[in-house]
Structure 1
């Protein structure tokens, strides 16, 4: 459904701009990497708590569109507030405001994705997952690159205004989505329903492999969000140039997500996730050796080609190993774990990267991703044999 992908991609575009623009805004106005890491973490961290709650509610409600639109309205208001306070008032205000916007963040990923089984027939889900992956990747391409370009040409303040406009437009697009009936609940008490999504993730070995691997993937991605802008001056470029690296990664990711869709259907999705994340890490570990930005861009595209199959395979794992009645809870709970993990990565990077240097940080992230794939595999083996 074109209306679904348009609404989802617009909302994700605004979110992807936020993740990068928050870092640039804080660094530009305070030159404080630790505060930038804490603010980015504050945007992502509330999702650990709110994701399972939102997922349980989504499975029970017929008002998904209203929830998605409210998330975008909150984002627009908070970004305008951040524009007014960052660098002009107490430092603690920036992470507090970021946390308000981040409290409904799982709706942007899991909230939309959980709608797919209700919108598409089972035989069309594999293709729908590939296009869903493209939606994420397109937003990740456009978000950081747009933020980088606007910051370089105009200012980081202008990039914040674009986020507000994108959020407002996404609200209009969301209003055109079809209303969907509740899919879960089954008369369970709400809190038991909340726990049900997390319990299903924990006790389903094949789903757990994908969840552990992609959760750790996002922790290292959080480190990259801080490390890459700080690495750019070493190549003679402004911090905002890091946005183009995220664009290069996603160009490669879209390519393999689309071209390998049929091949992925022949493999177990959790295996695809592990292989893709490990390959991504191996390529990323070479980024510190790039002597110029042009070489680094090429390596970023190659890394994206390696990582591309992971996202649609992650969606497939949730759908294949979860009943329809749990789709909302599983999607938003898994999304909250991923977003929360990214928050931990950003907070860690704010202290770690200045201490060890950006080159060492890039190597650590690459090797960490290989370890993440191995940890995901072990998480499935330990319980399935226990």
Structure 2
């Protein structure tokens, strides 16, 4: 019951989040007629996530009731969008952009911050399936969010898209508010409840120190230290580092497909709207692949290999799209890409759940989300000029980035002098 409520809230919150970017573009352009302002509002909403993620992670990890903090973030994000709408055509452009930046600071709470609470609602033996279902909420939101914006805008409701966004975000408030209380951090770390057998063999980056600030520590100094602890555990843990860097490289290549899709629609079918259909096919196939993975997650032993395999399939789909000379080939390519992207995300979450220390879980997820958003933004800046030159070139670059990500994700063999592999039980010495 609690898990179902969590998934329902996640779908609503993430659909509102996926709607927010296109909704800002549509509303800003409709009210002011300025594509420059509309694009700057979108940039402001996304770029600040790089700063907001680590800070939100610290606050979420500190909170005994993390769901309450997530609820406040949902309300703040919705309020920020509505304030931007109210100021369009009335307030100075600089003030609206600053407001979009401030609103974007809360964005990682709707993605990584929410996913970090999954162990509170799923028993350890069901965490793998719950992770797959949680990943499906991203696929469903990625499919429904832009589609809702398109339907409402096509019906002449350009000014209504942002309020609809806010309604979806606020509808997730009850699910966030009623998330279970985090167990008190008492006793040695060994007493904490690991989510998988591998959790006992994490890298000793944080050690036995409690990263939370002691009484009397200056708040700012404690905050900086905890942010540093979050980055330290990502960099120092081999599995987390590979998963994070690989996801960043892959995410930098993903805009090559997103930006090229409308151009391919025009080139292969004569209408840019067919490009949206390609993205919808990818989202549906990602959702279906995650559904299959959720049904068989108990058979998965190496989530890091699943992430690498999903990234490879995504790259194959982009390579096929680069060579497509007919629309049906582009549809097949989008389906292959989606079938890889869905399990890739599920595996990334599974690795984070397995490797992240309980006391730093929120930071690992929100920091990871921030890094992915930043990588996507950088990839988008490159994808535009490449797609304008040739969609084949853009998609080929995207496929090459996926190949580079696969190389990054493949586990390294550990020598006999290093610690045991986190994916296998330690061998006893004779």
TM-score (norm 1): 0.85
Does structure 1 residue 371 correspond to structure 2 residue 404? yes
Please give the alpha-carbon distance, in whole angstroms, between the structure 1 residues aligned to 2:366 and 2:357.
15
Moved more, 99-108 or 59-68: 59-68
* Aligned match of 2:280: 247
Q: Secondary structure at the match of 2:271?
A: coil
Which has a greater percent of helix?
1
Shift of 1:13: 0.6
Cα distance 1:166–1:266, how it changes in 2: closer, same or farther (>3 A)?
closer
* Aligned match of 2:66: 64
* Aligned match of 2:421: none
* Aligned match of 1:191: 224
* Aligned match of 2:117: 115
Please give the alpha-carbon distance, in whole angstroms, between the structure 2 residues aligned to 1:242 and 1:308.
20
* Aligned match of 1:103: 105
Which entry has the higher C-alpha Rg, 1 or 2?
2
Shift of 1:75: 2.5
Count of aligned pairs between the two proteins: 381
Residues 325-346 of structure 1 show CA distances to partners (whole Å, capped at 9, x for unaligned) of 2211111111111122222233
- Higher relative CO (Cα under 8 Å, sequence separation at least 6) belongs to 1
Please give the alpha-carbon distance, in whole angstroms, between the structure 2 residues aligned to 1:226 and 1:74.
30
Cα distance 1:282–1:182, how it changes in 2: closer, same or farther (>3 A)?
farther
Does structure 1 residue 214 correspond to structure 2 residue 247? yes
Please give the alpha-carbon distance, in whole angstroms, between the structure 2 residues aligned to 1:374 and 1:147.
37
5+ long unaligned stretches in structure 1: none
* Aligned match of 2:300: 266
Please give the alpha-carbon distance, in whole angstroms, between the structure 1 residues aligned to 2:40 and 2:403.
26
Equivalent position to 1:334, from 343, 368, 375: 368
Moved more, 74-83 or 10-19: 74-83
Residues 121-142 of structure 1 show CA distances to partners (whole Å, capped at 9, x for unaligned) of 2211111111111111111121
Is the 2:56–2:363 Cα contact (8 Å) retained in structure 1? yes
Shift of 1:314: 0.7
Q: Secondary structure at the match of 1:154?
A: coil
Shift of 1:30: 5.4
Residues 232-255 of structure 1 show CA distances to partners (whole Å, capped at 9, x for unaligned) of 44443356x544433321211122
Shift of 1:161: 3.0
Cα distance 1:114–1:153, how it changes in 2: closer, same or farther (>3 A)?
same
Please give the alpha-carbon distance, in whole angstroms, between the structure 2 residues aligned to 1:24 and 1:292.
31
Is the 1:223–1:345 Cα contact (8 Å) retained in structure 2? yes
Shift of 1:105: 1.0
Does structure 1 residue 44 correspond to structure 2 residue 78? no
Shift of 1:7: 1.0
Is the 2:22–2:146 Cα contact (8 Å) retained in structure 1? yes
Cα distance 1:187–1:90, how it changes in 2: closer, same or farther (>3 A)?
closer
* Aligned match of 2:180: 178
